[in-house]
Amino acid sequence: MNLKSFFFQPKQRYNNFWAILFYTFFFTNLLNSQSKEIDEIDLEIKKYLYKIQENDVDEKKLKELEIEIENYKKSNSFPDVKQELDQNLFEFSNVNTKTYVVKPNDTLFSISKQFKMNVNQIFDLNPELKTKPLYIGQVIKVIDNVQEDKNSDWRIETKEIFEEKSYIVAKGDTLSSIAKKFNTTVEELLKINKLKRNSILKINTKIIISRYKIVKEFKVRKFFIKPVDGYITSTFGYRKNPFIDTLSNFHNGVDFAAPIGTPIVAAKEGIVIFSGRMVGYGNCIFIRHPQGYITVYGHNKVNYVKVGDIVEKGQKIGEVGRTGYATGPHLHFEVRKLDRVLNPLVALQWEERVEISNKRIALK
């Protein structure tokens, strides 16, 4: 029985009303912080039902929709992402954390150097070390930045900043009084200001106290990588409903068209929090990342990952398909932070940078 005939049987009307409500609600407002008013949703349902009555909707699409709704009702498995995040956000701060067994002669400093961490990160991961000393055989948590470097997309960037400290000469100042005040020497002041020993200081002129060059080194990489080799067919924001042109919907993600079977990769390292069918999205995957970010991959032909899997950035997680509410084979990609949807095309431009060295060089 298809949805159309199903709907127009009076006894079933109530059930189908809810089925369509579910569909409309989830398609347009799934976890969306800009959720519409009930009246607007009601209006959309009415428009949609009108289209069905006018026999203006593709039978094949309706059949797919019916299956989607049935699957949704059966599984009822939409994850409560926000609640889960609230519970686990803090224990999931670093996916590349691993355990390390303390060896003879290890110190916090030597361990931090070995894994390219700073000592504070070791304390963050192992709060007990703040009050108790290390012992041989102790199991601690570390972040393996060395491992990460091996197959990483990091690049190194250097930034130079010049820092100058100066002083405006006041009445009664001498070079030696200024040197004393700033904990330097008359010799230094003469050199840095290119002054002769017997120069007279003029009131209201600038005396340079010190000059430094700060050289900072960062490792930089894209925060998210593009999850599929495809071209953009639909961007984030309001757009016309692809099936019903009188409706416009908020598109929560970006669509990348690609042939069926094209590999889909994780945009960032993370943990799989949903993998399965979801109304509208078809076969889809949700991955949670550090700092509360979630990426969503929809309409997949197959998913290679299951809930709880830890995935690396760039790891193959599935294949492009056209399951769910899709006009053609494409990947529907979303980026969320907690319960908010973000523009993936902006997020794909983000970079993460980690300071790896900071040198302060005095200039004479």
Chain residues binding Zn ion by CB under 5 A are 253, 255, 332
How many residues belong to the chain? 364
Residue 234 Cβ vs Zn ion, minimum distance, rounded to whole Å: 6
What is the C-alpha separation between 31 and 148, in angstroms, rounded?
Answer: 33
CA angle at 326 for the pair 323 and 332, rounded to the nearest 5°: 85
Of 126 and 252, nearer to Zn ion (C-beta) is 252
Of 271 and 331, nearer to Zn ion (C-beta) is 331
Residue 49 Cβ vs Zn ion, minimum distance, rounded to whole Å: 24
* Closest by Cα among 251, 252, 253, 297 to 275: 297
Q: Is 12 helix (H, G, I), strand (E, B) or coil?
A: helix
Residue 255 Cβ vs Zn ion, minimum distance, rounded to whole Å: 4
Residue 336 Cβ vs Zn ion, minimum distance, rounded to whole Å: 14
What is the C-alpha separation between 185 and 354, in angstroms, rounded?
Answer: 37
Of 118 and 235, nearer to Zn ion (C-beta) is 235
Q: For Zn ion, which residue has the nearest CB?
A: 332
Query: Helices 38-53 and 13-29 meet at what angle, rounded to 10?
Result: 120
Residue 21 Cβ vs Zn ion, minimum distance, rounded to whole Å: 21
DSSP alpha helices (H): ranges in the chain? 3-7, 13-29, 38-53, 59-75, 81-88, 108-114, 119-125, 145-150, 175-181, 186-192, 344-347
Residue 281 Cβ vs Zn ion, minimum distance, rounded to whole Å: 9
Residue 326 Cβ vs Zn ion, minimum distance, rounded to whole Å: 8
Residue the block writes with tokens 């000059």: 211
Of 268 and 332, nearer to Zn ion (C-beta) is 332
Residue 333 Cβ vs Zn ion, minimum distance, rounded to whole Å: 8
Q: What is the dihedral of CA 182, 184, 185, 190, to 10 degrees?
A: -80
Of 179 and 296, nearer to Zn ion (C-beta) is 296
- In terms of Cβ atoms closer than 10 Å to its own Cβ (0-12, 13-18, 19+), residue 267 is buried
Two tokens at 169? 């000469």
Of 114 and 343, nearer to Zn ion (C-beta) is 343
| Cβ proximity of 164 and 229 under 8 Å | no
Residue 314 Cβ vs Zn ion, minimum distance, rounded to whole Å: 22
Residue type, 191: K
CB count, 10 Å around CB of 45? 16
Of 48 and 236, nearer to Zn ion (C-beta) is 236
Of 48 and 256, nearer to Zn ion (C-beta) is 256
Of 68 and 255, nearer to Zn ion (C-beta) is 255
| Cβ proximity of 84 and 285 under 8 Å | no
